[in-house]
Chain A
Amino acid sequence: MSGVIEHDAISGQTTNGHEWDGIKELNTPMPIWWVYTFFACILFAIGYWVLYPAIPLGDHYTRGVLGVQARSQLESDLAAQAEKFKNQRDRIAALGVQDIAKDHDLMSYALKGGDILFRNNCQPCHQAGGSGAAGFPVLSDNVWLWGGTLDAIQTTLIHGIRSEKDPETRQSMMPAWGRDKLLTPEQISQVSDYVVAMETQHAPSSGPGREIYVANCAACHSSDGANPISDGNQTVGAPPLGSGVGLYAGPNKAVTKDIVMAQVWNPRHGVMPAWADRLTPSEIKELTLYVHELGGGQ
């Protein structure tokens, strides 16, 4: 209901004519600076809509006259960064890992790059910092399945382990002692006891387990093929069984008899992708240096 517009002598303003339960409202105009700022904002908005991406239209949007895109800005930022580090990138592309490892400034760049690549590519399986999980080798310790030198790590990265895509992939197979009935269940139990004892450095110097080990397992699991204490064989990826570190036990966990028996009966074989088709040679070099410097490199 529009009421009577009154003039209030004290403030000099008029009311806006409405009344709510006896309460009236003065119609004081906005300060003129506020009004002009408001108009300026409207003009700015119109200009912005014309120049910049503004209105979503379902599956596309108005691009704006200036053609500004977050994607193209990202590309130009990345190009600028590549330019900034051109020297380091060229040298890493040209040198081999052994030479890069000798140059301190180049190493700082390579290790930083390796850190980022590791997080994006390796961390899902090998966990943060290469701390590993049950079935996924710990990269930060000094126990290596396939070798921990720079060259060995680089080869593993390029070709992978048991990877279907790469004919030069690292291959090995552990006989299924239980499934294929190569050993009796009792023999498997005895040799598992021996392995558990070896892992805690308390291997007995005689006994059935030891004999079974020497006859069947030492050929692969000892580096000279005969050592009754397993120290691993990096040519065939046979883990050292006397290190206290078990791949299927998990990081920092003790190796139990169940785990050993399961692996001896029907062995699991880990697969690692061959990265040569997903990472550039420079990236593989950076990753090699990074993994090597996680603490266990040889």
Chain B
Amino acid sequence: MRVDVPVSGSHAKAAKLPFEPEAAELEPLYEKHRKIYPKYVKGFYRSLKTWIGGGLLVFYFVGPWLRWSRDNGSPSQMFLLDMAHERAYIMGVEIWPQEIYYLAGALILGAFGLFFATTLFGRVWCGITCPQTVFTDLFVAVERLFEGDRNQRMRRDRGPWSLDKALRKGSTLITWVAISLIIGWTWEIYFNEAFTTTKALLEGRIGEGSPVSWGVMGFALGVGAIFFVLAGFAREQFCIYMCPWPRFQAAMYDEDSLVVTYETWRGEPRAAAHKDTDFTNRGHCIDCKQCVQVCPTGIDIRDGSQLACIGCALCVDACDSIMTLMNLPPGLITYDSFSRQEARAKGETGRYRFFRGRTFAYAGLMALVVGIMAYGLLGRSNTGITVQHERAPMFVSLAAGHIRNGYDFKILRMAEEPTTYVLSIKGLPNASLRAVFYAETDQPVVELPVKADSVGSYRVYVTAAKAVLKGKATDFTFVLTDKSTGLVTEQQAMFAGPDSTTNP
């Protein structure tokens, strides 16, 4: 049985809700996607975006193909994150997995750099350099090439399907797919050697035994597919809904950051106009809506600074061109700070304040991170030691009162040339050493050769007389000397022995 319980009327007043829902709150949170057709505009910011974005694209696509000669059989790619062999090559620097903190440092530096840029110039990352913006610009340019500018695209999309429309849309899609595949493949060859992997792909060798494993292929296609969807279709949806960056912009701006601003005090009240309109008692905005039409996220900047404004400043270019036509001064929409706008609204000239506490703080943090990383990189030793004491047995009693300990001794050689190291002991008088395969009899020092750019593993035995030991554990030092450079690396170790109370 179904009974309708009405909310309105006396019945509702009797059962009072703990809150009063307003009409606006009952609006659904879901907004249907409407396609945005950004119009092409010429101007300073458009040129800036084209040049910088183009440069970034060139760097991205050309990067993996650049070469850097390395002597010892390491790959000759300038930028390579070789996950399979656990090495990162960035020009002359080779990072081992033990040094992944350099990557962390680079990411931290990138984050501080973003904060620094935003606090000075607003959302320049979003509008000019973000991969989403750059690739979307590229994809929109392709769309414009095949399907025409804004009005033509809108007209064609509204109209019926025809051979012409199918060919145009098909060409756009095919070009997008081709670009996406190249994007995905370029992504992969930052992680796999570019020439050998691409050669294998072109020869059709995929899967077992080929540098192009199914994993590589999957990632290339996956990354390509992601950019196809993001740049071809999602576009501003990514910026507005998916990306976290816009959400904490409020913390990055202050009243002195440059942002894309509509000069309300100058533009309002707005009304239609023509060349001979008198602008004395009205705003300069002629409501031509060019700023809305060129916007890639489809917002109206005259509503104010908002989350969906990615700071690309194309509306600045559009409005400037209109203002010039109307013989009005440009800059109705401009890159300016809130404090300056306030001042100018009152008729004063405001100041630019680039040197303020916040910018110094960010710059200082960046300098600190760079300093720490530089100190680490320059002071890096090319030799590392790892010593693991044998646990079973802790020590062995040899004939005639000597005690022997075993160690798994690893030498990390992080350099391009092989060398021989001389291993000796400090802190155990008259101790002797053996190294399996390299020194089969007890000697005061042993020589251990290591190949370039690799870890040498050795089993080292240290023998000492009971008399020099201090009970169950005696500390001593391994001293490793690089024969070719004389560099000395030391490592503390422990020598286990019998408890002095149980054995005389």
The residue from B1, B401, B437 contacting A107, defined by CB atoms under 8 A apart: B437
Tell whether A6 is near chain B: CB-to-CB under 8 Å: yes
Question: Among the listed B1, B398, B436, which residue makes an inter-chain contact with A141, where contact means beta carbons less than 8 Å apart?
Answer: B398
- Give the contact stretch, choosing among B3-11, B133-141, B223-231, B368-376: B3-11
Q: Is the CB of B396 within 8 A of A141?
A: yes
Q: Which residues of B lie under 8 Å from residue A4 when comparing CB positions?
A: 1, 3
* Bound: A8/B15 CA distance, A: 13
Segment among B353-361, B387-395, B475-483 that sits at the interface with chain A: B387-395
Asked if residues A244 and B399 are in contact (CB atoms below 8 Å), the reply is: yes
Point out the residues of chain B lying under 8 angstroms from A295, CB to CB. Answer: 396, 404, 406, 434, 461
Interface of chain A, main secondary structure: loop
Q: Would A251 and B5 be within 8 Å (CB), given that A142-B399, A201-B400 are in contact? A: no
The answer to whether A140 and B393 have CB atoms under 8 Å apart is yes
- Which of A14, A254, A296 is in CB contact (< 8 Å) with B2? A14
> For the complex, what is the distance from the CA of A270 to the CA of B291, rounded to whole Å?
97
Q: Contact: A243 with B7, CB < 8 Å?
A: no
Q: List 7 A-B contacts (CB under 8 A).
A: A9-B6, A10-B7, A127-B392, A140-B406, A243-B399, A244-B400, A295-B396
CA distance A9 to B7 in the complex (A): 6
Once A129-B393, A253-B503, A295-B434 are accepted as A-B contacts, the answer to whether A7 and B3 lie under 8 Å apart by CB is yes
Establish whether residues B399 and A138, one from each chain, have CB atoms under 8 Å apart when the complex forms: no
Judge whether A142 and B398 touch: CB under 8 Å: yes
On chain A, the residues within 8 Å of B237 by CB distance are none
Q: How far is the CA of A163 from the CA of B404 in the complex (A)?
A: 32
Contact A245-B3, Cβ < 8 Å, known A104-B437, A252-B503: no
By the criterion CB–CB under 8 Å, are B400 and A141 in contact?
Answer: no
In the docked arrangement, what's the CA distance between A104 and B436, Å? 10
If A104-B437, A107-B437 touch, whether A131 touches B396 (CB-CB below 8 Å) is yes
**CB nearest neighbor in A for B440:** A297
A128: Cβ under 8 A from any B Cβ: yes
Q: Which of A186-243 contact B (CB under 8 A)?
A: 200-201, 240, 243
Is A143 located at the chain interface by the 8 A CB criterion? Answer: yes
Q: Are B400 and A5 in contact (CB under 8 A)?
A: no
Residue pair A143, B392 in contact (C-beta under 8 Å) = no
Asked if B69 is at the interface of the complex by the 8 Å CB criterion, the answer is no
**Contact A141/B397 with A293-B459, A295-B406 known, Cβ cut-off 8 Å:** yes
Count of A interface residues, CB-CB < 8 Å: 35
Could you say which residues of chain B place their CB within 8 Å of the CB of A138?
A: 393, 396-397
Q: Is the CB–CB distance between B2 and A7 below 8 Å?
A: yes
* Least CB separation from A141: chain B residue: B396
Q: Is the CB of B392 within 8 A of A141?
A: no
CB 8 Å contact bits of A93-115 with B (1 = contact, 0 = none): 00000000000100100010000
Q: Besides the contacts A252-B396, A295-B404, what 18 more A-B pairs have beta carbons closer than 8 Å?
A: A4-B1, A6-B2, A7-B4, A9-B7, A104-B437, A129-B391, A129-B393, A129-B406, A130-B393, A132-B393, A140-B406, A141-B398, A143-B398, A143-B399, A252-B503, A254-B504, A293-B459, A295-B434
**Known contacts A138-B396, A244-B397, A245-B397; A252 and B498 CB within 8 A of each other:** yes
Does A141 contact B399, Cβ atoms closer than 8 Å?
yes
Contact between A243 and B2, CB atoms less than 8 A apart: no
Kindly list chain A residues whose C-beta atoms are within 8 Å of the C-beta of B404.
Answer: 140-141, 295
Q: In the complex, what residues of B have CB within 8 A of residue A104's CB?
A: 437
A253-B393 Cα distance, complex, nearest whole Å: 14
Residue of A nearest to B7 (CB): A9
User: Which residue on chain B has the smallest CB distance to residue A107?
Assistant: B437
Report how far A5 CA is from B4 CA in the complex, Å.
Answer: 9
Q: Which of B455-504 contact A (CB under 8 A)?
A: 459, 461, 498, 502-504
Tell me the complex Cα distance, A184–B7, Å.
Answer: 114
Contacts of B400 in A (CB 8 A): 201, 243-244
Given known A6-B2, A9-B7, A293-B459, contact A128–B397 (CB-CB < 8 A): no
Which residues 397-417 of B sit at the A interface, judged by CB distance below 8 A?
Answer: 397-401, 404, 406
Provide the residues of chain A in CB contact with B5, threshold 8 Å.
6-9
CA distance A244 to B503 in the complex (A): 11
Q: Output the least CB separation between A290 and chain B (Å).
A: 10
Complex: chain A residue closest to B503, CB-CB: A254
Other-chain contact of A5, B3, B6, B393, B406 (Cβ < 8 Å)? B3
Shortest CB-to-CB span from B459 to chain A, Å, is 7
Residue of A nearest to B438 (CB): A104
Query: Which residue of chain B is the closest to A17 with respect to CB atoms?
Result: B1
> Which B-chain residue is minimally distant from A244 (CB atoms)?
B401
Contact check: which of A8, A128, A293 meets B392 at CB < 8 Å? A128
Residues on A with beta carbons closer than 8 Å to the beta carbon of B503 = 252-254
B393 touches A251 (CB 8 A): yes
* Interchain CA distance A143-B400 in the complex, whole Å: 10
A27 to B7, CA, bound (A): 18
A:244-298 near B, CB below 8 Å: 244-245, 251-254, 293, 295-296
Query: Considering only CB atoms, which chain A residue lies closest to B393 in the complex?
Result: A131
A residues less than 8 Å from B406 (CB atoms):
129, 140, 295
Chain B residue at minimum C-beta to C-beta distance from A131: B393
Q: Chain B's nearest CB lies how many Å from the CB of A30? A: 19
CB distance from B34 to the nearest CB of A (A): 24
B8 to A, closest residue via Cβ: A9
Contacts of B504 in A (CB 8 A): 200, 254
Docked Cα-Cα span, A131 to B5, in Å, equals 84
Nearest-CB residue, chain B, relative to A128: B392
Give the CA-CA distance A243 to B401 in the complex, in Å: 8
Residues of A within 8 A of B399 (CB): 141-143, 240, 243-245
On whether the beta carbons of A293 and B436 are closer than 8 Å, the reply is: yes
Contacts of A293 in B (CB 8 A): 436-437, 459
- Bound-state CA distance A14–B1 (Å) is 11
Q: Which residues of B contact A141 (CB under 8 A)?
A: 396-399, 404
| Shortest Cβ distance from residue B456 to the other chain A in the assembled complex, whole angstroms | 11
**Chain B 428-461 interface mask (CB, 8 Å, partner A; 1/0):** 0000001011000000000000000000000101
The reply to whether B390 and A129 contact each other, CB–CB distance below 8 Å, is yes
In angstroms, Cα B4 to Cα A13, docked, is 11
